[in-house]
């Protein structure tokens, strides 16, 4: 949590951090920082889109729902895009 002063008033801003890669993220899960940040215990933790794609690809791979290794990431990206208001999912970093 971050407290900022705007026009003489204090405003509380919730900081979000990916629990997996520790990068700061916006409210949709898009990374705001390119490098991991130190663990922020006052931040709310979720998962960034890139870690979400990796996790979902692993689930699909383990459940044998896809036919080839390349299709896991494609299917994971498609599923996340459907739930992410049309935002593009970043390319996986392998």
What is the sign, positive or negative, of the torsion defined by CA atoms of 40, 35, 80, 55? negative
Q: Give me the residues paired with residue 17 across strands.
A: 24, 45
CA distances from 34 to 1, 24, 31, 71 (A): 20, 8, 7, 26
pLDDT band at 18 (very low <50, low <70, confident <90, very high): very high
Task: Give backbone dihedrals phi and psi of 53, rounded to 5 degrees, phi first.
Answer: -65, -45
pLDDT score at 62: 76
Residues 51-74 pLDDT 10s: 999 998 888 877 665 455 556 666
Q: Cα 64 vs. chain centroid, distance in angstroms?
A: 24
Question: Considering the entire predicted model, what is its pTM?
Answer: 0.57
Helices (H) and strands (E) counted in the chain, each on its own, are: 2, 5
């Amino acid at each position: 949590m971050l407290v900022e002063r705007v026009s003489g008033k204090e405003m509380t801003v919730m900081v979000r951090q990916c629990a997996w890669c520790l990068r700061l993220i916006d409210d949709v899960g898009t990374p705001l920082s390119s490098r991991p940040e130190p663990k922020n215990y006052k931040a709310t933790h979720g998962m960034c889109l890139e870690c979400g794609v990796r996790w979902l690809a692993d689930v699909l791979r383990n459940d044998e729902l896809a036919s080839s290794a390349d299709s896991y990431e494609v299917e994971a990206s498609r599923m996340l895009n459907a739930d992410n208001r049309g935002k593009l999912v970043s390319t996986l970093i392998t």
